[in-house]
Amino acid sequence: MGVSGPFVWSGRGVRTFPASGGSPPRRAHHRELKQKLATLQKDYADLHTALFEAAQVHRHLCAPRRVEYGDFEIASEVFAVRYMPGDFFAVEEAGGGLILALGDVCGKGLAAGMWTPCLVGLVRAHAAAASEPHAIVSGVNREFCRMHAPLSSLFMARVNPAGGTLDYCSAGHPPALLLRAGGRLELLSDGGMLLGMTADASFSSGRVELAAGDVLVAYSDGVVESRNEADEEFGAERLETQLRLARDGCADAVLFSVLAAVQDFAAPRPLADDTSLAVVRLTPTPPRTEAHEPIKRDRSCEPVRLPAFVHPLPP
């Protein structure tokens, strides 16, 4: 009697096993599974590439991480919790001044991230047609309502370097912090409701006079709502404390000091929401070259002097 395939002896007699590779139907099924796995792996790689490219588009829409405009230093960072952020920070020169806009589209991931270019585009379009922040925000809000866009918050400011003034409008956004050189803290909360609630919403502008050494910090709720392992929020009080500790540094130093404090507070928990932070500092003296030399070695972080405004390519 012939036996096909390997065999072993057991207490109940000889047991045979299928030849290597199994029966033809089994081998065909195995090949099919391998093909499906290869297809899934390719689809995953293509999706990863597409998400990376989309993130680069978002980066080009936002301001460079560091900008110098006259005596103003501006540093910013935006972090996504899922693929693409619904937060943004944009800088535009318009009407002899500088337009700053920090926004937060409700939601996370691709759904929020796909609305970000729309909001940035509307801000730029209306900034070219109007100079007052409340007028720009009103125009953006009407368009957002017409498109049934998700609710969004926006902090919009116009810096007048000649007069040293800053006009702003806060549409449902956390109040920006203005820390005076002398130590007094002001909350910039004039504005109105969230964008996208009602087309006939009314918005107002506020104005502050800026002096050398003043530091302005605009941020999204992802900063103050970061939680630690005890489920405590970072909160506005800790943000103020960290700002006071870092206020004598350049805009970059203040930015990284606050971001590091948020990260240390929340560790080891990951980000739960998109996070954006922008620091504007009116320098008391021209910035020292040696203080920024490490940053200038990274072309993606090299300062951009307006009006020769060009977004740098990603590294």
The token pair at 64 is: 């460079």
Q: Per the domain annotation, does 135 fall within a domain?
A: yes
Q: Are residues 172 and 298 in the same domain?
A: yes
| Rounded average pLDDT over 245-264 | 94
CATH number at 71 reads 3.60.40.10
The whole-number pLDDT of residue 21 equals: 55
For residue 288, the enclosing domain spans 62-305
Per residue in 119-151, pLDDT (tens digit) is 999 999 999 888 899 999 999 999 999 999 999
Strand intervals (E) in 236-314: 275-282, 304-305
The whole-number pLDDT of residue 290 equals: 43
Residue 300 reports pLDDT greater than 90: no
| Rounded average pLDDT over 247-254 | 93
Which residue type occupies 58? H
Q: Are residues 57 and 202 in the same domain?
A: no
The whole-number pLDDT of residue 84 equals: 84
Residue 218 and residue 102 in contact, taking contact as beta carbons nearer than 8 Å: yes
Domain final residue pick, 5, 34, 61? 61
Residue 292 reports pLDDT greater than 60: no
Domain final residue pick, 14, 46, 61? 61
Residue 70: which pLDDT band, with cuts at 50, 70 and 90? confident
The whole-number pLDDT of residue 11 equals: 52
Per residue in 8-63, pLDDT (tens digit) is 455 555 555 555 556 788 888 888 888 888 888 888 888 878 777 777 777 778 88
Q: Are residues 56 and 190 in the same domain?
A: no
The larger pLDDT score, comparing residue 302 to residue 15, is at 15
Q: Are residues 114 and 157 in the same domain?
A: yes
The whole-number pLDDT of residue 298 equals: 35
Domains of the chain: total: 2
Q: Per the domain annotation, does 9 fall within a domain?
A: no
The whole-number pLDDT of residue 46 equals: 81
Q: Are residues 53 and 66 in the same domain?
A: no
Domain final residue pick, 61, 89, 117? 61
The token pair at 314 is: 């990603």
The whole-number pLDDT of residue 289 equals: 46
The larger pLDDT score, comparing residue 289 to residue 222, is at 222
| Rounded average pLDDT over 270-274 | 86
The whole-number pLDDT of residue 307 equals: 30
Which residue type occupies 16? T
| Rounded average pLDDT over 282-309 | 43
The whole-number pLDDT of residue 192 equals: 96
Residue 238 and residue 261 in contact, taking contact as beta carbons nearer than 8 Å: yes
Q: Are residues 234 and 178 in the same domain?
A: yes
| Mean pLDDT computed over every residue of the chain | 83
The whole-number pLDDT of residue 6 equals: 52
The larger pLDDT score, comparing residue 150 to residue 314, is at 150
Residue 313 reports pLDDT greater than 60: no
Residue 222 DSSP SS3: helix
Given the DSSP bridges, would you call strands 185-188 and 191-192 parallel, antiparallel or unpaired?
unpaired
Q: What is the dihedral of CA 175, 266, 247, 161, to 10 degrees?
A: -40
The whole-number pLDDT of residue 9 equals: 52
Q: Are residues 129 and 181 in the same domain?
A: yes
Q: Are residues 66 and 49 in the same domain?
A: no
Residue 185 and residue 178 in contact, taking contact as beta carbons nearer than 8 Å: yes
